[in-house]
Amino acid sequence: MRRPDAGVGEETMVYRIVAEQCTSCGACELDCPNSAISMSRFTYVIDPTKCTECKGFHDSPHCASVCPVPNTCVPATIGPTAASPAIA
């Protein structure tokens, strides 16, 4: 999914949470500087319209850094035409 603020042809990337791996610990939600992460049913999800990969706040996406389960907060899209779902 493309972020609405991305320029034409600009590589866009948002993160998603792999629902099957999420333990619902909440570490990602508490540390997200854009309030892009919220609880949905029994797992957390990332709003792709709010996710900025923590640009301006951290050197890398902080959700992936604080998550205790490896490979749970992962890139959802690469490039403007990728068809990967942005929210798990």
How many CB atoms neighbour CB 83 within 10 A? 6
Question: For 21-34, how does the pLDDT look when each residue is reduced to its tens digit (9 = 90+)?
Answer: 999 999 999 999 99
Look at residue 45 in the predicted model and tell me its pLDDT. 95
| Predicted confidence (pLDDT) at residue 49 exceeds the cutoff of 80 | yes
Q: Kindly indicate the confidence band of residue 86, based on its pLDDT and cuts at 50, 70 and 90.
A: very low
Residue 81: exposure state from Cβ atoms within 10 A (0-12, 13-18, ≥19): exposed
Question: Rounded to 5 degrees, what angle do the CA atoms 66, 32, 70 make?
Answer: 25
Domains delineated in the chain: 15-75 (3.30.70.20)
- pTM of this prediction? 0.72
